[in-house]
């Protein structure tokens, strides 16, 4: 995880030097699908073996809504993990640094097309369930909660001024605790890591 964060920081430094004329305020929404890998990394042996991302199906799909102001971004994301028989969900909100760097030619940039690179790093909070969520999501449906730090890298192509397509790899490390137990019961706390490889289709609106 440290190496991933170091890479993101380096990429952000490069991005900072390339921001002239960049968008100021952008809203975007993704439809996402792909795969997930996760494991518990520390904690009591019994609870670590029950780590949320180590036990849910590996096929991932869902949606995310984000806002970016200059180089700051926030995202609300809901993913489902399904293998045809078991289903779990993870909902999180994160905020931090978010850069998008257009890589196309000047002509492509002017037309709102061409390739792009997106890098980000942030922190947030998430909740997981072992079943389909019945809106509104309440505490009774939650199995695991976590404070997270996340780094992500995406590459894609602007299909038009409003639509993007690409691949994203988010990697997150979290401090998890099982729901429904006293907060000071450290035997039900554990740490874990998970990563996803996602294809996304994005609707992007430039407001400023």
**Which of 14-23, 43-52, 59-68, 191-200 is predicted least confidently?**
14-23
Question: Residue length, the chain?
Answer: 208
Residue 82's pLDDT is 96
The Cα 203–Cα 2 span in angstroms is 32
Q: Does domain 2-206 have CATH number 2.40.160.20?
A: yes
Domain regions of the chain by residue span: 2-206
Q: Which residue has the tokens 């849910």?
A: 56
Statement: residue 2 has pLDDT above 60: no
Per-residue pLDDT tens digits for 138-178: 889 999 999 999 999 999 999 998 999 999 999 999 999 99
The Cα 166–Cα 150 span in angstroms is 19
Helices (H), the chain: 2-16, 45-48, 52-55, 106-111
Q: What pLDDT band is residue 4 in, cutting at 50, 70 and 90?
A: low
């Amino acid at each position: 995880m440290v190496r991933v964060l170091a890479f993101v920081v380096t990429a952000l430094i490069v991005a900072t030097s390339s921001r002239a004329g960049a968008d100021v305020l952008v809203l975007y929404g993704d439809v996402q699908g792909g795969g997930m890998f996760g494991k518990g990394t520390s904690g009591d042996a019994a609870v670590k073996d029950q780590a949320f991302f180590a036990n849910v199906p590996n096929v991932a799909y869902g949606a995310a809504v984000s806002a970016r102001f200059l180089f700051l971004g926030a995202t609300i994301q809901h993913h489902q993990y399904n293998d045809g028989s078991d289903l779990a969900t993870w909902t999180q909100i994160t905020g931090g640094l978010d850069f998008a760097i257009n890589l196309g030619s000047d002509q492509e940039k002017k037309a709102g097309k061409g390739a792009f690179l997106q890098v980000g790093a942030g922190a947030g909070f998430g909740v997981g369930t072992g079943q389909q969520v019945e809106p509104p999501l309440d505490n009774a449906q939650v199995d695991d909660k976590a404070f997270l730090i996340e780094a992500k890298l995406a590459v894609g192509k602007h299909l038009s001024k409003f639509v993007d397509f690409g691949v994203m790899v988010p990697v997150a490390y979290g401090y998890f605790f099982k729901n429904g137990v006293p907060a000071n019961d450290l035997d039900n706390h554990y740490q874990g890591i998970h990563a996803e490889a996602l294809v996304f289709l994005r609707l992007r609106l430039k407001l400023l």
